[in-house]
Structure formats: C-alpha cells, structure tokens
Amino acid sequence: MTDSPLLLSIAILGGTGKEGKGLAYRWARAGYHIHIGSRTPEKAETAAKELLLLLEGEADIEGLSNVEAATKADIIVLTVPYSAHKDTLEAVKDCVQGKLFIDVTVPLLPPKVATVQMPPAGSAAQEARQILGEGVQVCAAFQNISHELLLENGDVECDVLVTGTSKDARAETIKLVEAAGLTGWDAGPIENSVVAEGLTSVLIGINKKYGSTYAGIKITGAMNKSA
C-alpha cells in the first residue's frame, strides 16, 4: 500500500453520523479521497455537501450507498451504531475482500450505555472478523475519540488504541490515525479490541459524572513510540 494519501480513497460507511463526519473531515484535509456511505444515498450526498462547505471546496468527497462506497475505496471504515453493525457488514462483505477494514463500532446497548456490554464474539471488531472472513484485514480504532474534537482543526490530546489481525494492518491504521492529527498505539491482536470498545462505556460514565463531553485516554511512560 502506498504512503501517499493523494492516491488512496477511504469509504466511511455510516459516514452521515457524527463520528463518521469527523473522521471524513480530518482525512479529507489530509488529502485522502473520501466516499461517504449510507443505506440512504441521498443522506450521504447531503453529508458530503456539508463537509465540502466546511472545507471550502478544497476536498474530494462524494456521497454514495454503503455498497458503492465500499466497492470504490481502498480502505473501509465502519462507523455505524451497533444496531446496524451486522446488517452493514453482511451487505458489504463481498466488496471489501482484500482490503483494510477499520471498525469504529462500539457495542453500546441503550439505555445502559455507561455499562460495558460485549457481544458473543467478544467485541464488535471480532464480530466483523467473523462475518467478513479471512480475506479481510480487520482493525479496531477510534472508539474513544469525541466527534466534537474531530471537527476542530487542532491536534487532539487523546490517544488511539489500534488492535487488528496483523502487524501490517495495525501499522497502516496508525498512519491514518496520525493523518487525522492523533497519536496511535499498536495495542496488539484483534482480541484486545474488547478493551478499547469497553473503555467507551467507561468514558461515557466519566463524562456524565464530571460534566464533560469528550473524556479520552492518554498513554504515558512509553519510552520508544517508534518501536
């Protein structure tokens, strides 16, 4: 995979939501081609237009159906609510084979969203791996980042834990984390995604208790970030 963002495209499935828009904004600013995906293409087109206005037209963003976006893109990012997770994965399974697939989904089950509740597969990312199969490199990332911070222009003082099915896939995902202006950490195999996903419920509880909206995490004490 090339390092040049100008030659890569990213499909953000469920990209009409707040987290999806925030990531699209960051990556479009960094020079990636962005395909906003939605079950309703018209909603995706509206979201793409809104982002283009924010970026003053200086970006390559289009709105498509989830399947069209996943077919066209080099990298797939899933940002749907957990209630739509399985259906979306099954819909795009055939058109994401051989690609890097980054799952941002957290298995939140209202009304107890501040309580960690994991699915039978162990985590949403592990569920994605089961559905998509061995032909897809699956990573989990960005679960602990507030959309409010992503839609601002400055660096975000919140780290990103990246887990995934291979070291190479995690390295490629960390490049995208850095392109979005954040610090990413290789947090090991996909089985460890349960930690990052579970932290979201913990952070939601902290936000509620202490009156914040964007509590996050920071890794301290690591001596060699490049290792």
Q: Report pTM.
A: 0.93
Average pLDDT, the chain: 93
Quick one: pLDDT at residue 5?
63
Contacts with 163 (C-beta within 8 Å, 6 or more apart), sequence order: 125, 139, 140, 141, 170, 187, 188, 189, 190, 191, 192, 193, 195, 196
Domains and CATH numbers, the chain: 5-210 (3.40.50.720)
Share of the chain above pLDDT 70, in %: 95
Percent of the chain with pLDDT over 90: 84
The model's pLDDT over 22-40, given as tens digits with 9 standing for 90+, comes to 999 999 999 999 999 999 9
Q: Quote the tokens at residue 192.
A: 């460890």
Where does the pLDDT of residue 225 fall: very low under 50, low under 70, confident under 90, or very high at 90 and above? low
Q: pLDDT band at residue 218, thresholds of 50, 70 and 90?
A: very high
49 CB-contact burial (10 Å; exposed 0-12 / middle 13-18 / buried 19+) = middle
Count other C-beta atoms under 10 Å from residue 42's C-beta. 11
| CB-based contact 50:43 (threshold 8 Å) | no
For residue 76, the one-letter residue type is I
Query: What six digits make up the tokens of 123?
Result: 């985590």
Give first-to-last CA distance, the chain, whole Å.
20
Cβ atoms of residues 115 and 93 within 8 Å: no
Q: Residue 11 gets which letter from DSSP?
A: E
CA–CA dist 189, 177 (Å, integer): 17
For residues 154-176, average pLDDT: 94
User: What does the pLDDT read at residue 1?
Assistant: 46
Of the candidates 118, 141, 133, 131, the residue with the CA atom closest to the CA atom of residue 190: 141
**Predicted local distance difference test score (pLDDT) of residue 98:** 97
